Amino acid sequence: MDTVILSDWLAARLDRTAAEPVYRQTLRLMQQAILTGQLPPGTKLPSSRTLAEDLGIARNTVLHVYDQLTAEGYVISTTGSGTYVADTRPDTAAVNTRKKPAVTSVDADGADQAAEGSKPPKRDLRDLSTRGRRLIDQAGVSAKQWGAFMPGVPDVAEFPARTWSRLQARLWKEANPDLLTYAPGGGYRPLRRALSDYLRVARSVNCTPDQIIITTGIHQSIDLAVRLLTDVGDRAWVEEPCYWGARSVLQSSGITLVPVPVDDEGLNPREQDLQQPPRLALVTPSHQYPLGMVMSLARRRTLLEYARQHNVWIIEDDYDSEFRYGSRPLASLQGLDDAGQVIYVGSLGKMLFPGLRIGYMIAPEHLVDTFRTGVAELYREGQLMQQAVMTDFIMDGHLTSHVRRMRALYGERRQILIDAITARFGDELPVMGDEAGLHLVLGLPDHANDRAVTAAAYDAGVIVRPLAAYYSSETPARRGLLLGYACVTNEKIGPAFDTLARVIEQTVLKKKPTRAA
């Protein structure tokens, strides 16, 4: 198009009633005309005065447009001679190298076609990588994060937000600039001290404050350990069943998973597992996730000794261990380790609120510097203000009193749920893993499709998770449902369970629907 046509073309497209300012519209339209080749390279633009008159807009607006076009390389201005469209067409020689992609149908002239305004083909989901597709296909994350019976979510409505807010306001009043910048590796030192004091007593871990590395949670802790201690293609033992999130993190770092069965004493490797020592073993000894059994002392000692002899790193995920009903919390595996081979990981999210994103790991002493460098290098952590608030929260005693209060509350809810299950099903459906944590497992008969039950329950308004989602195998050893009782108020547990029970009766037990009481 020549420059007279340009004026008409612009005039036809400028919308003086639009929210977008005329300057932006003019700029955008001229860029578009150049990119599509409607204004080919070498075209002389009308003078700013002429274009302004043609369009009936301020000459300054056109000058600004021309300046920006010049700055961005769309046009070249030569003093005295005028303004010309620059040649910014893609370098065809560079684009058309010998290797042709297998999937594209664009021919050798594709570049020019595109430059002339034809729509290039959209990419689609086939473009995910193999690991990306596996991650998405196997994703365990739920769209809902709250309500009966969402597992693993504490009752955030009970969090003493007022106390937190007060501590937070006090710290922000000073706003120490040192706390606004990146975190040095390892996190806020007073928090590390407070946590090591807490964990030594509560979890019998064996560590100095230096060994504590603050992270954003279990995911980041595992990710860091995996990237520092394993290589692509290394094998890792995971419990079968285990937490889906840990599986995703390991796999997306190129680890080959070896699911190892668990029995009533915890991890129980088979002969074939033992014959091929992995590089890493991820275990939940205090409270197997999701089934709830405790790893026996003999198994712990065997695992530690096996790991020592075969150079296996152990990640101990001490998930949910603060909430134990009736029995005292058991000591950590880390506390038994005298070979510096256990990496202990935990999180404050379940104790306070998940959105907090404060976790911690205990690095073996000789790896402390390495882990600190790693966490800073890979994630560039910050959030020191929040870590300072957390420190005050612990030091003022709010953490222990909140956990104590929640343990009593969750204990009540657990009992209400167990009573509801027993009242409805008697011994027909077993309850597992109710001694600790924020959920229990309601066992289903072997023929049951727990994924189908979950979907039907969801449609009826109740969230549960199928045990199958925690197994790597397509043929899980057990069928069941994870029922979280922590984020449901006492009075809602019964009605929600009634709804779930009806779904189970209809889909699994094939009973006639019973009428609600």
Q: Enumerate residues 37-96 that contact a second copy by CB under 8 A.
A: 67-68, 71-74, 86-91, 94-96
According to CB under 8 A, which one of 59, 189, 357, 407 is a site residue for a second copy? 357
Buried/exposed code over 376-404 (b: 16+ C-beta within 10 A; e: otherwise): beebebebbbbbbbbbbbbeeebbeebbe
DSSP structure class, residue 420: H
User: Chain centroid to CA 355: how far?
Assistant: 11
436 forms bridges with which residues in the sheet? 324
| Alpha carbon distance 15, 107 (integer Å) | 38
CB nearer to a second copy: give 281 or 448: 281
Rounded least distance, CB 338 to a second copy, Å: 6
According to CB under 8 A, which one of 208, 256, 276, 401 is a site residue for a second copy? 276
Name residues contacting a second copy, limited to 159-178 (CB under 8 A). 159, 161-162, 164-165, 168-169, 172-173, 175, 177-178
| Contact between 316 and 332 (Cβ < 8 Å) | yes
Rounded least distance, CB 250 to a second copy, Å: 11
Binding mask 235-264 for a second copy (x = CB under 8 A): ----------x--xx--xxx----------
Containing 283, the helix (H) or strand (E) segment is strand 280-283
| Alpha carbon distance 493, 385 (integer Å) | 37
| Contact between 237 and 260 (Cβ < 8 Å) | yes
According to CB under 8 A, which one of 26, 61, 211, 220 is a site residue for a second copy? 220
According to CB under 8 A, which one of 17, 81, 129, 475 is a site residue for a second copy? 129
> Would you count residue 292 as binding a second copy (CB under 8 A)?
no
CB nearer to a second copy: give 4 or 169: 169
Amino acid making up residue 404? R
According to CB under 8 A, which one of 79, 80, 105, 124 is a site residue for a second copy? 124
Tokens standing for residue 463: 């969230």
For residue 283, the tally of other CB atoms under 10 A from its CB is 26
Containing 498, the helix (H) or strand (E) segment is helix 490-507
According to CB under 8 A, which one of 60, 208, 256, 309 is a site residue for a second copy? 309
CB nearer to a second copy: give 135 or 452: 135
Rounded least distance, CB 100 to a second copy, Å: 8
According to CB under 8 A, which one of 328, 447, 510, 515 is a site residue for a second copy? 328
Rounded least distance, CB 394 to a second copy, Å: 18
According to CB under 8 A, which one of 79, 81, 105, 232 is a site residue for a second copy? 232
Stretch of 190-198, 301-309, 407-415, 475-483 lying at the interface with a second copy (CB under 8 A)? 301-309
> Would you count residue 15 as binding a second copy (CB under 8 A)?
no
Long-range Cβ pairs for the range 54-62 (8 Å, 24+): 54/7, 54/10, 54/11, 55/7, 55/10, 55/11, 55/14, 55/26, 57/14, 57/22, 57/26, 61/22, 61/23, 61/26, 62/26
Rounded least distance, CB 383 to a second copy, Å: 6
CB nearer to a second copy: give 454 or 507: 454
Containing 443, the helix (H) or strand (E) segment is strand 439-444
Query: Binders of a second copy: how many residues, by CB under 8 A?
Result: 141
CB nearer to a second copy: give 199 or 420: 199
> Would you count residue 409 as binding a second copy (CB under 8 A)?
no
Name residues contacting a second copy, limited to 433-462 (CB under 8 A). none
Return the SS3 of 181: coil
Rounded least distance, CB 327 to a second copy, Å: 6
According to CB under 8 A, which one of 9, 84, 306, 458 is a site residue for a second copy? 306
CB nearer to a second copy: give 79 or 105: 105
CB nearer to a second copy: give 486 or 504: 486
According to CB under 8 A, which one of 202, 229, 395, 509 is a site residue for a second copy? 229
Tokens standing for residue 489: 């108020």
Q: Which residues contact 93 (CB under 8 A, 6 or more apart)?
A: none
Return the SS3 of 53: helix
Count the helices and strands in the chain (H runs, E runs).
18, 14
